[in-house]
Amino acid sequence: MTTNEQDRHGSPRDRGQADYYYGRLWSPHYYKGDSFSSELVEHKEMTEEEVKQYTEGYQDQLAGQKDWGCEDILDATVISEEGYQFNKEYEAIMNDVHEQITKKDE
């Protein structure tokens, strides 16, 4: 992809930047044209280069993240070794839910 193509609205890099900015999980995808108004290309359909561009956009920290007004939760957000973003608080809640469901099934 040319530099202009990499920076266009809907490109893998653009989608990675948007996902990081809005605090969404790492989930490679892009649009063949403009975001939300053209065909979506999902992770399983992407080339290694496209996933790399998405990840570079996701890791581009220059834009920072949107301030949702809940710093205590955002401060608990980390990036795992695999590149997935998760929230420690959410992970603890989901582990508790899983434990409760497992106990009911026993």
Sign of the C-alpha dihedral computed for residues 20, 28, 8 and 60 taken in this order = positive
In the chain, domain spans: 1-66, 67-106
Residue 98's pLDDT is: 64
Q: What are the mean pLDDT values of the chain's consecutive 10-residue runs (106 residues total)?
A: 75 92 90 92 95 91 70 49 54 66 64
Residue 39's pLDDT is: 95
Q: CA-to-CA distance for 35 and 18, rounded, in angstroms?
A: 11
Residue 60's pLDDT is: 83
Residue 43's pLDDT is: 94
Bridge-based pairing of strands 85-87 and 77-79 is antiparallel
DSSP the chain: --HHHHHSTTSHHHHHHHHHHTT-----EEESSSTTSS-EEEGGG--HHHHHHHHHHHH-GGG-----S-HHHHTTEEE-TTS-EEEHHHHHHHHHHHHHHHHHH-
Residue 67's pLDDT is: 73
